[in-house]
Amino acid sequence: MKPLKSLLILFVIYSLTGCKYIKYSFKEGNISADIKSISIAYIQNTASIVVPQLSQQLTDKLRQKYLSETRLDIIASDGDFDIKGKILSYTVEPVSLTSGQKASQNQLKISVQIQFTNKKNPKGSFNETFTQFAEFSSDKSLSTVEMGLISIITEKLTQAIFNKTLSDW
């Protein structure tokens, strides 16, 4: 009888404490039930080369990602999660050279500094630089492939930022 009573007590304790820590699971992580909102400020472009659409495209993709893949409400400011950021660099570099020291592939690289604040769990906050790139043939000019590359890179940046913000739960 004593083992049965101990088992029953353990079950009751587990049941009662289990209700306290409800979490919702999504494709890319878990969000605590007490997190209700996220604010995502416009991502400023401070790079030496400024592409006018880049800031808006990255900001929109971040907002859309949280809107479509979480239950969080997107609010203008002071969310339970808060994202601020700036584009630090926008560079084109050769990545593979031919025997004549001519680039056969170039790489467009974008770096973004993100300040993420988790108001419910400050240990989950961070300030980090994310860098992503896409390669293109040196036979093509940047202007002909730039918008497509920006779309690919901002998608990669959005995914990396999204994963990092939800990985600490």
Please state, rounded to an integer, the average pLDDT across all residues of the chain.
87
pLDDT tens, position by position, 35-60 = 999 999 999 999 999 999 999 999 99
Q: Range of 98's domain?
A: 36-166
Q: Is residue 72 part of a domain?
A: yes
Q: Is residue 31 part of a domain?
A: no
State how many domains the chain has: 1
pLDDT at 26: 43
Q: Is residue 20 part of a domain?
A: no
Q: What is the CATH number of the domain that holds 138?
A: 3.30.160.150
pLDDT at 24: 40
Q: Is residue 25 part of a domain?
A: no
pLDDT at 168: 59
CB–CB of 72/36 below 8 Å?
yes
Residue among 118, 67, 125, 30 at smallest CA distance from 22: 30
| Residues 121, 125, 131: CA angle, nearest 5 degrees | 150
Beta-carbon neighbour count of residue 142 at 10 Å? 12
Q: Is residue 118 part of a domain?
A: yes
Scored b (16 or more CB within 10 A) or e, 88-122 reads bebebeeeeeeeeeeeeebbbbbbbbbebbbeeee
Residue 66 has pLDDT above 50, yes or no: yes
pLDDT tens, position by position, 85-117 = 999 999 999 998 777 777 789 999 999 999 999
Instruction: Tell me what the mean pLDDT of segment 28-37 comes to.
Output: 82
Backbone angles phi, psi at 28, to 5 degrees: -110, 10
The set of residues, in sequence order, having a beta carbon less than 8 Å from that of 5 and lying 6+ positions away, is: none
Instruction: State the Cα–Cα distance between residues 111 and 130, nearest whole angstrom.
Output: 6
Torsion of CA 26, 113, 127, 163, to 10 degrees: 20
Instruction: Tell me what the mean pLDDT of segment 51-74 comes to.
Output: 97
pLDDT at 96: 80
pLDDT tens, position by position, 2-26 = 555 555 555 545 554 454 444 444 4
Name residue 44's amino acid: Q
